[in-house]
Structure formats: structure tokens, C-alpha cells
Amino acid sequence: MEKIEKANAEALRRLLAGDPVLVDLVPAAEAIEGLGKHHILHAGPPISWERMCGPLRGAIMGIAVFEGWAKDLKDAAAKAEAGAFRFEPNHHYDTVGPMTGMTTQSQPVLVVENRAFGNRAYCAINEGLGKVMRFGGNDAEVLARLAWLRDTLGPALGCAIRETGGIPLKPIIARGLTMGDEMHQRNVACSSLLLRILAPSLARTSKDGEALARCLDFIGKNDQFFLNVAMTVGKALTDPAGGIEGSSLVTAMCRNGTDFGIRVSGTGDTWFTAPVEMPVGLYFPGYTANDANPDMGDSAIVETVGLGAFAMAAAPAVVGFIGAGRASGAARFTRSMGEITAGNNLEWTIPLLDGLGVPTGIDIRLVVETGIVPNINTGIAHRKPGMGQVGAGVVKAPMLCFTQALEAFAAKLGVVY
Amino acid sequence: MEKIEKANAEALRRLLAGDPVLVDLVPAAEAIEGLGKHHILHAGPPISWERMCGPLRGAIMGIAVFEGWAKDLKDAAAKAEAGAFRFEPNHHYDTVGPMTGMTTQSQPVLVVENRAFGNRAYCAINEGLGKVMRFGGNDAEVLARLAWLRDTLGPALGCAIRETGGIPLKPIIARGLTMGDEMHQRNVACSSLLLRILAPSLARTSKDGEALARCLDFIGKNDQFFLNVAMTVGKALTDPAGGIEGSSLVTAMCRNGTDFGIRVSGTGDTWFTAPVEMPVGLYFPGYTANDANPDMGDSAIVETVGLGAFAMAAAPAVVGFIGAGRASGAARFTRSMGEITAGNNLEWTIPLLDGLGVPTGIDIRLVVETGIVPNINTGIAHRKPGMGQVGAGVVKAPMLCFTQALEAFAAKLGVVY
């Protein structure tokens, strides 16, 4: 239908025309309107405490203690059970978060402004590897690190980012794609490129050499530091493409460990959900698929803008890392995602494919027609609260989300699919 | 012959067993024994002032003024003509230098120790892009930058490197190969990875935030900062493989803008030289092949250890940059160099080739038998003194070096080839 083609062309134009710039880093309560006490934003579509998986509950218990809303983990669980906390998706507040995706008032958040459209998006700082809250960790070590992020790294980074006057992020991602990053499982290039931009400003705004050294060390040793930046970019790019009447392009994909949810431009803020699948991949020594929680996190926002599994051809090393076959077969992942997307991003190209742009703009019609669902590169959390990461792999978005969305989309347009 | 096979196995073993560690950065006179006043080390095999090309003369004039051995460029040229300076190859002093390769007493040099064999190698700091001495630049801007390297960046980096206790370089290069670097034309990944290791130590040892910021900024904006480190690694790895009786493996390749020279393990310190060829590649706007000087620099030491053009499959983006065809054809460069090498480096592997190690240990017998000469990725200098870089491309080592070497090698062994 011509109306749909026109609407999709406009949605794709907006997706591609965005200009995401890292402009600030401030406590969440300052950036996110309406975020207050006892208010916990989480990854994925809406979900009640009763239906939450282990790691999501673990993270909520931890963050409630961190914010001073509970005296210990047990107290936090009891309070959650009793309805003392307000749970809402990050996505309802222009925000995203990896895995459990905790966002609460005192955590520092990255602020990315899409200068082409004026909207802003937010995401907490990446905590590094090991035992971390995004994988459901909630012990003293996890909370102490969050306190250091809040009290030391966050303020230092905030000063440095403001001193730069804003860091355009599209060129960094473009370069990362020529350096083996796909911005989901692998962010080592972009993390390093961002650090070398930030380091001089950190030095200029720091008053304490040892604290500065610790900040540089923390970022420098965290290959996934840029993941949260890339996710904020994804959110900043997709929001302006939402709410276009007649557009069948996906504007969000996310998971809360129980449900997978998508949003489609033409159907606005409605979530289409289905049970989330189990990632297929590699486990850390001592763990198996029996330990794994179904997939979680808002991080699939990077696939929504053509990165992650969609850009696998740029990152042959990732294919082996997540146990998805031979490195030389990386290109087939990208080509396959090209079957379900509306176009290619000519600013984000893949050298190995002779400059082909990453496939962008998932069309729910193409997903249903071809039977090809989006692939998502992902980490794997332990299914019990407090345990952390046990592996990494690839997960498929459930087809049911797309068939439901297409039915609603067609009904709204008064057509039959 | 069994003797040759045994000797080559030992030479290859030494090439692969090396453990290069960045241990220090000090003024050249402190590191390099016998380097004194009026003493100028240059890239390539030995050459007299009379036979030197334009950019090499330009660099010598500049460095003589920088060291205070001449009052201006004209005076420097007259003194050089009159025999006031002693010219010798870097290679005679465990040293390498890119392009013109100036090494003189007061310049700070990187010190790389090969901990498996105890030898050390040296190279000056990379000056960045634009008008620089390695491309024959010699004006006030060039000399001012060299003074800042000597007085500020050099001492700061020296303190930081010593504070780290030594930085193992093989793992950084291994990672760089998974990030699109081949360590000759492209060093953006390794430059960034090295900076993120150095930054905390720079912060800990710095007393002045603004000077620190300038140092971080200089390294952070120089994608080729790591080139000189990679070259020092090459020199540190190849030196222990020299002087093995009966080995036909190449231990050095270098050029001075007039001659191309190689050394072979079994023939020790003898240089086999031939007229250097012209690179084939791309020129900066406003320049053509008519402006180009024939190839120069000690940088081909990286190809000698399997990097640069030998690792092209790791760096598809480079193929386009130097005008050597389609990016997707990068692998054929590496496979072709596999025809003339004794083995593969299993510590330096290429994801796209499913973990194949870079081809290492150029065998002069294979070069002569196959007719395939080593490819070298390179920058292109203007042929006149003081002009600088005009492009980048690929150059072939002249076959004449290898046929001469094979004759001498055979004569020494008493065999006929």
C-alpha cells in the first residue's frame, strides 16, 4: 500500500537522520522527569513483581537497599511484595538499561541528545564485568561499586563531558564498525575511542590525580563501557521515528526476562509481547543452560537501529565468542537481517561488505512474510537472584510479537494481512 | 637441504618466541651506545649524502638545526656536504625509524625489551600527521613539535611507562588484529588500546593537569602513534633471529628513498640492496605520482614479522585507503604472502580467516622460486626536501635484493641455487 510505503520512508528517514550527541551525565532524578522516591525503572515491557524472573527481582532488591528504601535484601523483597515500589519500564521515560536495567533517582545517567530532532535519551553507566547489578548481582561489592559510580566517576565524567561541549556519537560508532565492534557483544573499539576523547577533558577538570587515575583505569579496563552509550544512541534515534500513522517499522525491542516486547511506529506506545526465548550460546566454565535465565534487557535497542547482530559482519570475532559458528560466516547474519529491514545506513558501513550500510528499520510485514525474526546478540544471566552473568549468545525475537503487532497494525489501518 | 630446514626452524622459533615489552622511554643518547654529537642515524641501508633523496636530505638539515649543529637549513646542508656529520643506518644501532627515520642524541626513544632473549630495540616517538620530519618536513613548526616531544611528552611518557613496570606488546598487537589494524597503515586500535593502558599511569605521575591534558590529547588524536611501537617490536623480534648459519629467512627489510636493503639470517649483517621502487597507491588532493619520492623507511620491519601488508586480511579498510582494490579482497594479500613464508604466528591471528596466524619468516628461497616479492604498505613522501606526505600505497620489495642474497647465501653454504 502506498500509504504504508510513504509512512515507512518517513520513519526510516528519521531513523537515519538522527544526530546523537553525548551532552551530559547527571543523577537520574535531574534528567528524568517524574522519577522519584520508591520509583524503579526496569528493562523490557511492563511487568508486575509476581511475574518477574530471579535476576530482575535480585536487582530490584539490591537497588532498593542502595537507594536506602530498604534496610536489607530481605526487607526489600518484602516491601516489593507489599507494593511499596512503583515499577515501570525504562522505555516509558526516554530511558534504556542493559539486562535488568535498573534506573533510580540517585544513579548517574548518560544524556544523549538527538540534535536533529531535539529529543533526549538516558541510560546508567556500565558497571563493568564480574558480579554486577545488571545481571542480578546485589551484594556489598555490587552496591559499593554503584556508590563509587554515583559519588566519583559520575561527577567526574559529567564535568568532562560538559567540558567537551558534546561528543557526536555517530562517527564513533561508524569507526567502531571498521574495528570489529558490533556495539552489543563487542564494544572494545568504541570504548577505547570514547576514552581517548574524554581523557584530556577528564584531566582538565580533575583536581585529584589518584581519583583521575582510578576513573581512567575503570573505563580503560571495561571493554563494554560503550554498550550503555550505544543503547542511549539507539533510544535517541528510535524515539523520533515513533507514532507515524501507517508505518510498520519497529521502534523498540526489549525483554524483562519473562516477556519480550516490541513497539511499532504506526501503533504508537502499545507493547506487543510474547514469552521471551532462551539464548543459544556459550557458557562460562561451571555453568550450563540449566542455570540460564531467559533473555533480558533493553539492549536490543541497538539491533533496532542496525547494530548488534544486524552488524555481525563487522565483528567476525564475536561470532566465535558467542558460539554462533565460524568467524568467516559473520556476513550471513547481516545479510539475513537485510531481508527484514527497510534500508541500509550509509553512515554506518561495513568494510568487509565493501561499504554496505547496516540493515536498518525492521518491518513487521517482512518479518511475518519471510518468517525471519530479528537476531539479538546478548549476555546470559543466572536464573537465580544475586548470581550474575553465566554466558553469552544469540537469541531470536519471538515471532508472536510480530504477528500480534501486524494484526493490530492492519486493524488500525482497516486492511487485512 | 636438511641443514637449511633446521636453521630456518630455529630462526622461525626465535621470531615467534619473542616477548616484546615496552619498558622505557629515554633520550636516545642514554639508550643507544655510541650515539653522540654530529651523529645522525637514518632509515634504510647505508648511504652517502651525495646519493640521498630529497626528503632524507630535508630531514637531515632539519635535525641538524634541531640539535644545534647548524644555525639554519642552508648551513646544515653545507655542513653535510662538507662531511661534518656521521651518517649510519638505524639498524646498525638496534634502532628503527619510519620514513626518513631520524635518530639523534636528544630525541626521546621508545625502549622495547625482548624478554625472551634479553635484547632491546629503540625508535623515536611518532610525530603525528601533517608536516613532520619523517616525511622530510623541517620548518619551524616541525622543529617546535620535536622540542615538545623532547621536553614534555617524552619525559611524561617515560615516567608513565616506568610506573607500569613494563607493557607487554604482543597481546596488544593480537587484539589490534581483531580490530582492523595491520600495524603499518592502520594503528588506530593499538594506539587507543595503548593509551588506555598508559592514561592512568600518566595521571598518577603527572604534576600538571593542563600538560597532562595536552599529552593525552596528542596521543589520542594520533591514529598512527602505535606505528613506532610496532616497529620497535619488529626490531626486537627480528634481532635474535639473525646470524643463524644456514638460515635463509629475512631478518630486516628497509629503504632509504634510494636503495631497498634486506638482511638474511644466514648471511649476518650483510646488506643486499637494489634501487627502491615507487609505491602504487592514492595521492592527497593536489598531488600526483610526479611529486612522489621512491619508497623509504625502516617501517618494513613490521612486514618482516608478519604485520603490515602480510596481515592485510585483518584490515579490510586499509585496502581501500591505499587504493589496492576491494575491501573484500583483503584476504588475498595475506594468502599470497603465505606463499613465501616459513610459518604462521599462532599468537597473532586473523578472525576473518578463522584464526589463521599471520604469515611469518620470509624465506628468500621461496621468494626467488615463486617470483612473489614481499608487499609493503607504506606512506608516500614528496620528492623535494621540506614538503611532507603526499599519499599512501603499497610497494613491492625489489626481486634483485633476493636474488643477490640467495647467491651469496648459496656461495657461503657451498651449494648452487
Beta strands in A14-126 (DSSP E): 20-27, 39-42, 86-89, 108-114, 119-124
Give the start-to-end residue ranges of the domains of chain B.
19-233, 243-413
Exposure letters B218-240 (e unless 16+ CB within 10 A, then b): bbbebbbbbbbbbbbbbbbbbbb
Per-residue burial over B294-316, b if 16 or more Cβ lie within 10 Å, else e, is bbbbbbbbbbbbbbbbbbbbbbb
- The model's confidence at residue A326, banded by pLDDT at 50, 70 and 90, is confident
Provide the shortest C-alpha distance from residue B354 to chain A (in Å).
5
Closest listed residue to residue B330, CA positions, set B310, B304, B345: B310
Percentage of chain B beyond pLDDT 70 is: 100
Taking only residues 230 to 259 of chain A, the set having a beta carbon closer than 8 angstroms to any beta carbon of chain B reads none
DSSP strand pairing (B86-89 vs B39-42): parallel
Per-residue cell: B313: 586480511
Indicate if the pLDDT at residue A417 is higher than 90: no
Q: First-to-last CA distance in chain A?
A: 11
Q: What is the dihedral of CA B304, B307, B310, B316, to 10 degrees?
A: -160
Using an 8 Å CB-CB cutoff, list chain A residues near B326.
354
R_g (Cα) of chain A, nearest Å: 20
Cell of A399: 515471532
Q: What is the phi/psi pair of residue B217, to 5°?
A: -70, -40
Q: Is the dihedral of CA A66, A71, A75, A81 positive or negative?
A: negative
- Substitution target in B164, B178, B202, B322 with the highest count of A β-carbons within 10 Å is B178
Query: Nearest CB to A316: which of B204, B206, B351?
Result: B351
- Residues in chain B closer than 8 A to A330 (CB atoms): 352
Q: Are B180 and B315 in contact (CB under 8 A)?
A: yes
Residue A48 has pLDDT above 90, yes or no: yes
Confidence of residue A150 (pLDDT cuts 50, 70, 90): very high
Sheet holding B272-275, edge to edge: B272-275, B259-264, B250-256, B296-297
Q: In this predicted structure, what is the pLDDT of residue B328? A: 81
Chain A residue numbers with beta carbons less than 8 Å from the beta carbon of B349 are none
Q: Is the pLDDT of residue A128 over 80?
A: yes
- Model confidence at B68, pLDDT cuts 50, 70, 90, reads very high
Residue in chain B nearest A207 by alpha carbon = B209
**Residues of B in Cβ contact (< 8 Å) with A200:** 213-214, 216-217, 220
Q: Is A128 on the interface with B (CB under 8 A)?
A: no
* A171 in contact with B, Cβ within 8 Å: no
Chain-chain contact of A206 with B210 (C-beta, under 8 angstroms): no
**Whether pLDDT at A202 is above 80:** yes
pLDDT of residue A335: 95
Cβ neighbours of residue A395 closer than 8 Å, sequence gap 6 or more? A276, A277, A278, A279, A280, A295, A375, A376, A378
Helix A188-205 × helix A170-177 angle, to 10°: 140
Structural contact between residues B218 and B284, judged by C-beta atoms closer than 8 angstroms: no
CB B344 within 8 A of CB B403: no
The band of A321, judged by pLDDT with boundaries at 50, 70 and 90, is confident
Q: What is the pLDDT of residue A4?
A: 97
Residue B327 at interface with chain A, using a CB cutoff of 8 Å:
yes
Across the interface, whether the CB atoms of A352 and B327 are under 8 A apart is answered yes
Q: Which three cell numbers stand for residue B302?
A: 613490521
Give the C-alpha separation, B309 to B319, whole Å.
9
User: DSSP 3-state assignment of A157?
Assistant: helix
Mean pLDDT value of segment A180-202: 97
Measured in whole angstroms, how far is the alpha carbon of residue A338 from the centre of its chain? 21
* Lowest pLDDT segment from A101-105, A174-178, A386-390, B191-195: A386-390
Q: What are phi and psi of B268, to 5 degrees?
A: 60, -130
* Tens digits of residue pLDDT in A10-19: 999 999 999 9
What phi and psi, each to the nearest 5 degrees, are found at residue B336? Answer: -65, -40
Confidence (pLDDT) at A133: 93
What letter does residue B182 receive in the DSSP assignment? -
Q: Please give the full DSSP string across A280-344, using - where no structure is assigned.
A: EEEE-TT--GGGBPPPEESTTHHHHTT-GGGGGGG-HHHHHHTT-S-GGGHHHHHHHHGGGEEEE
Q: Whole-angstrom Cα distance, residue B61 to residue B75?
A: 8
List the single residue in B with minimal CA-CA distance to A197.
Answer: B220
Mean pLDDT along residues B275-296: 93
Among A189, A209, A353, select the one facing B203 at the smallest CB separation.
Answer: A209
Q: What are the distances in angstroms from CA B372 to CA B43, B266, B300, B397?
A: 24, 21, 16, 10
Question: Domain B243-413 is classified in which CATH homologous superfamily?
Answer: v583 domain like (3.90.1700.10)
pLDDT value at position B374?
98
What is the separation of C-alpha A163 from the centre of its chain, rounded to a whole number of angstroms? Answer: 26
First to last CA, chain B: 11
Chain A segment 191-230 residues within 8 A of B by beta carbon are 192-193, 195-197, 199-201, 203-204, 206, 209-210, 212-214, 216-217, 219-221
> Sorting pLDDT into bands at 50, 70 and 90, what band is A140?
very high
Nearest residue to B120 (alpha-carbon basis) of B239, B253, B39: B239
Rounded to 10°, the helix B209-220/B188-205 angle is: 170
Which of A292-306, B212-226, B278-292 shows the lowest mean pLDDT across its residues?
B278-292
Q: Any CB–CB contact under 8 A between A164 and chain B?
A: no
What is the spatial distance between Cα A368 and Cα A371, in angstroms, rounded to a whole number? 5
How far, in Å, CA of A15 to CA of A249, rounded? 10
Considering only CB atoms, B189 lies closest to which of A189, A197, A326, namely A189
**B328–chain A Cβ distance below 8 A for any pair:** yes
Q: Quick one: CA torsion of A194, A355, B183, A168, rounded to 10 degrees?
A: -20
Domain A19-233 has CATH 3.40.50.150: no
Q: What is the pLDDT of residue A239?
A: 98
CB atoms inside a 10 Å sphere around CB A108: 24
Percent residues over pLDDT 90 in chain A: 91
Provide mean pLDDT across the span B259-274. 98
Q: Do A216 and B199 touch (CB under 8 A)?
A: yes
Question: Cα dihedral angle (B409, B118, B234, B144), rounded to 10 degrees?
Answer: -130
Distance of CA B289 to the CA centre of its chain: 23
Three-class SS state of B196: helix
A201, A316, A351 member nearest B317 (Cβ): A351
pLDDT-derived band at A388, boundaries 50, 70, 90? confident
All cell numbers assigned to B213: 591534558
The grid coordinates listed for B40 are 645522525
Put simply, whether B51 touches A (Cβ < 8 Å) is: no
CA distance A140 to chain B (A): 26
ipTM attached to this prediction: 0.91
Task: Work out the mean pLDDT of chain A and round it to a whole number.
Answer: 96
Search chain B and give the residue with CA nearest A222: B196
Residue of B nearest to A213 (CA): B200
Distance CA B247, CA A164 (A): 55
Q: Which CATH class is domain A241-413?
A: alpha beta
Distance CA A30, CA B341 (A): 61
Rounded distance, CA B292 to CA B58, Å?
Answer: 15
For residue B416, pLDDT over 90 is answered with no
pLDDT in tens, A217-262: 999 999 999 999 999 999 999 999 999 999 999 999 999 999 999 9
- Residue A134 binned pLDDT confidence (cut-offs 50, 70, 90): very high
Q: Are A230 and A186 in contact (CB under 8 A)?
A: no
Q: How many C-alpha atoms does A301 have within 13 Å on its Cβ side?
A: 33
A320 near B CB under 8 A: yes
pLDDT digits (tens, 9 = 90+) for B316-351: 888 887 877 888 888 999 999 999 999 999 999 998
Averaged pLDDT for residues A147-174 = 98
Hey, is the C-beta of B324 within 8 angstroms of any chain A C-beta?
no
Burial of A68 (0-12, 13-18, 19+ CB in 10 A): exposed
Q: What is the pTM of this model?
A: 0.94
Chain A interface mutation, best of B163, B185, B186, B192, highest count of A Cβ atoms under 10 Å: B192
B175 neighbourhood in chain A, CB within 8 Å? 188
Neighbours of B381 (CB within 10 A): 33
Q: Which of B192, B200, B352 sits opposite A213 (nearest CB)?
A: B200
| Cα–Cα distance measured from residue A129 to residue A30, given in angstroms and rounded to the nearest whole number | 27
A174 interaction partners in chain B (CB closer than 8 Å): none
pLDDT at B252: 98
For an interface test with A, give the residue of B193, B195, B196, B225 to mutate (most A CBs within 10 A).
B196
**A297 reaches B (C-beta below 8 A):** no
Q: Give CA angle at A296 (A291, A298), nearest 5°.
A: 160
Residue B308 has pLDDT above 90, yes or no: yes
pLDDT of residue A385: 87
Q: Give per-residue pLDDT as tens, B113-168.
A: 999 999 999 999 999 987 899 999 999 999 999 999 999 999 999 999 999 999 99
A153 near A325, Cβ under 8 Å?
no
Closest-CA residue in chain A for B175? A188
Say what the pLDDT of residue A129 is. 83
Flag whether residue B174 sits within 8 Å of chain A, measured between CB atoms. no
CB pairs under 8 A between A and B: 115
SS3 category, A180: coil
B325 in reach of chain A (CB within 8 A): no
**Do residues B305 and B237 make contact, with C-beta atoms less than 8 angstroms apart?**
yes
| pLDDT of residue B205 exceeding 90 | yes
Helices and strands of chain A, counted as H and E runs: 15, 15
Q: What is the mean pLDDT of residues B228-234?
A: 98
